Structure 1
Amino acid sequence: MLLTITTTRHPADDLGFLLHKHPARMQSFEQSFGTAHVFYPEAGPERCTAALMLDVDPVRLVRTRGRNTPDFSLGQYVNDRPYAASSLLASAMANVFRTAMRGRCDSRPDLADTEIPLTVTLPALPCRGGPAQAERFFAPLGWRVDARAVPLDEAFPSWGDSRYVSLTLTGELRLADALNQLYVLLPVLDESKHYWLAPDEVDKLIRAGGGWLAAHPERGAITRRYLSNKRGLVRAALGRLAGVDQAPDEALSQPEIDDEGPDAAGTADTAETAGAAPEPRTPLAELRVRAVLAALHEEGASSVIDLGCGSGRLLARLADDAAFTEVSGADVSYRAVEIARRRTAGARRVREVFQGALTYADARFGDHDAAVLMEVVEHIDPPRLGAVARVVFGGARPRVVVVTTPNAEYNVHYEGLAPGAMRHPDHRFEWTRAEFGAWADGVCAAHGYRVRYVPVGDADPAAGAPTQMGVFVR
């Protein structure tokens, strides 16, 4: 099976830096089911094409087949897996282009963050639903889709079309985004995987789908297909897409949780949220960041600490904003702190990014004009909320504190979320607007603050907005 990626952005052969594969060499990578070869059919300053060819060994595939593979004695050896793009190709991509999929390129960091002209071709792609299905899944992501049905036999046109399409995608995207979209959508279009689905498959989907899946109009169908309609996994994935920015291991509020969990491309950055309406829109995670920044600007905050910074999504935005003279970040997860440090490396406004637990007094939390707890408090066991309030509002005592948390009343609008269920399995609670107000009023009375409430996201007349934000000022 073959995948080619072409760019015409000058100098085009910088594609080799982005993929971390030298254009002058052919490289081979052993997989459990065959061998992946990377080579460049053309590599020049005006146009460069990288090719990933996967040579599947049927015998090795049988030895490593998952429980989802039909156990037919002949079908194990005679099938389309060596010739058609499928989860095998997606797995090879994840192994061969791992760093590129994370968006890392130390040699060309600006290019890694830049949308570049790309053409992706897949000569044979199993696509249950035909060309229209490929259009349905890829077009909302900004691709121009050319999907053509492959006939069963060109010599006998009366036989009709096969279930395969020849697919060409053209558009301007970050290379990392393009690779992650392919990683998710190849097995989705095929509706099959070569391995048994474990619970960590949800983490893979959230990591690869970050920034685009939550806002996709077909996110429900994509999630169900990717997870082979495993009800529990689908429910967990849709719940995480419904409104969480942080993985459990990255919540500053949980010192008892260690730092093992999703890696550098984990849910702290990638599980963005969309509203319940089917059309594409700005993800709720982005609206939340904008609302926090707007509140800080309105209050004239100068120095800011992001308490529960995760892998630095908000911290990076704070560091890029000239309105803030100095910013810091803290998180209980050492891994998240390391990622946030890399993400903000070289940012002159960043004072420090450190590991710390919000339930314990820490002198480093102080000496900031403002503090942000964005989607943090719901990860705290309710009996410990008093300690958090004393540490933040009583000990650190910044002039401004911005707190965001899910609005439980809005959960009825999220597809796949069972009645009474929470948006993320690690949430210890989710407040209604009245419950959040009662907590905030208690904090103000105990520590001398006043609070105003700001809805974030499209508000429903009855249920309110998906995120509720409190801006505390003393």
Structure 2
Amino acid sequence: MLLTITYRGAAPGDLGFLLHKHPDRVHDFALPVGRAHVFYPEVGDERCTAALLLEVDPIELVRSRRFRGDAGTLGHYVNDRAYVSGSMLAVALGSVFRTALTGRCDARPELAASELELELGLHAVPLRGGADLPERLFAPLGWTVEQSTGLLDDEFPEWGPSPYATITLRGVSRLGEALRELYVLLPVLDDAKHYWVADAEVDKLLRAGEGWLAQHPERELISRRYLAHQREYVAEATARLAALDQGPELVDAATGGDTDDDASESRPLNRLRADAVLAVLDEVGARTVADVGCGPGALLSRLAADPRFTRIVGTDVSPPALETAARRLGLAERSDAQRERIRLHPSSVTYQDDRIAGLDALVLMEVVEHVEPERLDALARSVFGLAAPASVVLTTPNAEYNALYPTLAAGSFRHPDHRFEWTRAELAAWAGAIAEHYGYRVEFRPVGAADPVLGAPTQLALFRKEAAA
């Protein structure tokens, strides 16, 4: 099984930093089904290519209890599992390029966060679902799809065309996003997994599909195939994906509520919002930051990937959300110094928490609207009075923009856990009063494509402490 990744750019050799594999070496990895090798067949001034080659041990595969086969039948031994680019290649990709999948690159954080000109080559890909399946799966994600097939056997043309294809994907994408798409879609093309599917696969699907799967036109087919047609898991994934696609922030509260999407944007609104927050943190020169109400750690993972942030704190009232964030950040595998740099704590935004006091910046990204109105004074005292950071970055939905969402009934909120949603004037009034009382000045910025009358879908308020201005 072979996957090639080609990057064209000003310094194409930086692909080695992004993949965390040096181009001058051949890297070998032992896996439960065989051995994986990473090498670079091409490193030039204009392009660089990395290859992942998986050599499967068919005998070990048969012996494995995790193998999805019928023991005692000929099909258990005679099959294409060891040769097609399917679930085993996806598992190898997830194991060998684990850090790259998360989008983290401490050596080149700006490159990991950038959209790159990429070419992905897949060989011996099964076309179980029709010759147009690769186009249906990858084209909606922005990839140009080329595929070639030949005869099953040139000596016997009457046997017809091969059920396998070579697929080349070309496009512009963050490398981590491209790898996560492959991680999900390789077993979907194959429509088979070499191991038994358990309930953890649903969370893996949702994590790898964050930002693209909920809006994919083939999401039901993707969910069925990725989850090996296990009805209860497919039903769970379908419900969670449907919630993500009902409109901005109409999501299951267990996901942290930070996955809404704006159909008018080529990129999901949650990504645009995180981009806006990170840009503001850069603007104010923040180095120590707390993400208050961090949820499952979407913003934390991007903060952690940037070495400019020397101290990162994530707080949330939900222990399961913090556990998800810890897994997402890979805290268990990080060094002691990294675990000291990144801290997660259970806490409420309305309570005093000395662990977030005196930082450069506090982020309240889609948090304030989850607080009961009568508790907003307590939030203000905790954040602006007691923690008293140099800057506060707050984002919240613009209630006026809700009229543009056809699936959202009049007067409804974007998320079932929202206690209110402010218009632009209401946010300005609240934020202005808070700024005056606690010694900050505040400015407002739109996030997302703005309607000329109703404004942008998200509104951002940037508070700067007067003494720090």
Q: Which residue of 2 aligns with 1:391?
A: 382
Q: Which runs of 5 or more residues in structure 2 are unaligned? A: 316-321, 335-340
Contact 2:93 2:183 in 1 (8 A): yes
Q: Which amino acid aligns with 2:54?
A: M
Is 1:78 paired with 2:82?
A: no
Go from structure 1 to structure 2 and tell me whether the alpha carbon gap of 1:102 and 1:65 turns closer, same or farther (over 3 Å shift).
same
Q: Which residue of 2 aligns with 1:40?
A: 39
* Deviation, structure 1 residue 397: 6.5
Q: Which residue of 1 aligns with 2:338?
A: none
Contact 2:301 2:328 in 1 (8 A): no
Contact 1:118 1:173 in 2 (8 A): yes
Q: In the aligned structure 2, how far is the partner of 1:23 from the partner of 1:362?
A: 48
Contact 2:243 2:250 in 1 (8 A): no
Question: Tell me, what secondary structure is at the counterpart of 1:130?
Answer: coil
* Deviation, structure 1 residue 186: 0.5
* Deviation, structure 1 residue 38: 0.7
Go from structure 1 to structure 2 and tell me whether the alpha carbon gap of 1:331 and 1:382 turns closer, same or farther (over 3 Å shift).
farther
Is 1:360 paired with 2:347?
A: no
* Deviation, structure 1 residue 125: 0.8
The two structures have a TM-score, normalised by structure 1, of 0.65
Q: Which residue of 1 aligns with 2:417?
A: 429
Q: In the aligned structure 2, how far is the partner of 1:37 from the partner of 1:340?
A: 22
* Deviation, structure 1 residue 148: 2.1
Q: Which residue of 2 aligns with 1:375?
A: 366
Q: Which residue of 2 aligns with 1:192?
A: 192
Q: In the aligned structure 2, how far is the partner of 1:392 from the partner of 1:282?
A: 31
CA offsets 1:185-218 (integer angstroms, 9 cap, x no match): 1112223323333333233234333455456555
Go from structure 1 to structure 2 and tell me whether the alpha carbon gap of 1:373 and 1:79 turns closer, same or farther (over 3 Å shift).
same
Question: Tell me, what secondary structure is at the counterpart of 2:198?
Answer: coil
* Deviation, structure 1 residue 75: 2.4
Q: Which residue of 2 aligns with 1:53?
A: 54
Go from structure 1 to structure 2 and tell me whether the alpha carbon gap of 1:218 and 1:412 turns closer, same or farther (over 3 Å shift).
farther
Q: In the aligned structure 1, how far is the partner of 2:355 from the partner of 2:53?
A: 49
Q: In the aligned structure 1, how far is the partner of 2:290 from the partner of 2:124?
A: 47
Q: In the aligned structure 2, how far is the partner of 1:301 from the partner of 1:76?
A: 61
Q: Which amino acid aligns with 1:170?
A: R
* Deviation, structure 1 residue 82: 1.0
Query: Which piece of structure 1 moves more, 201-210 or 237-246?
Result: 237-246
Question: Tell me, what secondary structure is at the counterpart of 1:433?
Answer: coil
Go from structure 1 to structure 2 and tell me whether the alpha carbon gap of 1:362 and 1:66 turns closer, same or farther (over 3 Å shift).
same
Question: Tell me, what secondary structure is at the counterpart of 1:5?
Answer: strand
Go from structure 1 to structure 2 and tell me whether the alpha carbon gap of 1:244 and 1:29 turns closer, same or farther (over 3 Å shift).
farther
Q: Which runs of 5 or more residues in structure 1 are unaligned? A: 252-267, 321-325, 344-351
Q: Which amino acid aligns with 1:197?
A: V
Aligned counterparts, 1:118-137, within 5 A = 118-137=118-137
Is 1:281 paired with 2:269?
A: no
Query: Which piece of structure 1 moves more, 196-205 or 86-95?
Result: 196-205
Q: Which residue of 1 aligns with 2:237?
A: 233
Go from structure 1 to structure 2 and tell me whether the alpha carbon gap of 1:48 and 1:338 turns closer, same or farther (over 3 Å shift).
closer
Q: In the aligned structure 1, how far is the partner of 2:360 from the partner of 2:16?
A: 45
Q: Which amino acid aligns with 1:284?
A: L
* Deviation, structure 1 residue 454: 8.4
Q: In the aligned structure 2, how far is the partner of 1:221 from the partner of 1:407?
A: 34
Q: Which residue of 1 aligns with 2:177?
A: 177
Q: In the aligned structure 1, how far is the partner of 2:136 from the partner of 2:419?
A: 36
CA offsets 1:293-331 (integer angstroms, 9 cap, x no match): 89999xx989796542545368689998xxxxx998542
CA offsets 1:405-462 (integer angstroms, 9 cap, x no match): 56899699699x9xxx999xxx88234537999999999999987999988657999x
Question: Tell me, what secondary structure is at the counterpart of 2:95?
Answer: helix
* Deviation, structure 1 residue 35: 0.7
Go from structure 1 to structure 2 and tell me whether the alpha carbon gap of 1:143 and 1:381 turns closer, same or farther (over 3 Å shift).
same
Go from structure 1 to structure 2 and tell me whether the alpha carbon gap of 1:383 and 1:84 turns closer, same or farther (over 3 Å shift).
farther
Coordinate RMSD, CA, aligned: 5.6
Contact 2:365 2:393 in 1 (8 A): yes
Q: Which residue of 2 aligns with 1:63?
A: 64
Q: In the aligned structure 2, how far is the partner of 1:398 from the partner of 1:221?
A: 47
CA offsets 1:146-184 (integer angstroms, 9 cap, x no match): 112344444454554444322122345444333222111
Q: In the aligned structure 2, how far is the partner of 1:12 from the partner of 1:39?
A: 17
Q: In the aligned structure 1, how far is the partner of 2:252 from the partner of 2:8?
A: 37
Q: In the aligned structure 1, how far is the partner of 2:212 from the partner of 2:254?
A: 22
Q: In the aligned structure 1, how far is the partner of 2:244 from the partner of 2:30?
A: 33
